[in-house]
Amino acid sequence: MTLTENPTEAHGVADALREGRVDGSTYSGECACLVGTIGNLKGVDAHSLPRNSNNPSERWFMMISKGDTPEKDTGGGFAAKLALEWVEEWIVLNSRK
């Protein structure tokens, strides 16, 4: 749902995951959680966006720390790898509409 509500930011979220620019523990900063990353891409404060730390996607991103990339053999790397796969799948499915 988070990407569906912010479709133009999906590619930027994928880039942030590839580059290790996600920190699931915070809504703000250069490296931020899912909603924080979307806020950064939109140029708005994440607190102005709908957010819910109990949302499954936000909970998944909580496992990712700054510097975790999909190639890393760590828990955060694993979480980043699966999140990137899901985002890329979402992009493909929604480009067909």
How is the chain split into domains, by residue range?
2-91
- pLDDT score recorded for residue 22: 96
Mean pLDDT for the chain? 93
Is pLDDT at 96 greater than 80 in this prediction? no
Whether the model clears a pTM of 0.85, i.e. scores above it, the answer is yes
User: Hey, what are 40's tokens?
Assistant: 């950064």
| CB atoms closer than 10 angstroms to residue 77 | 19
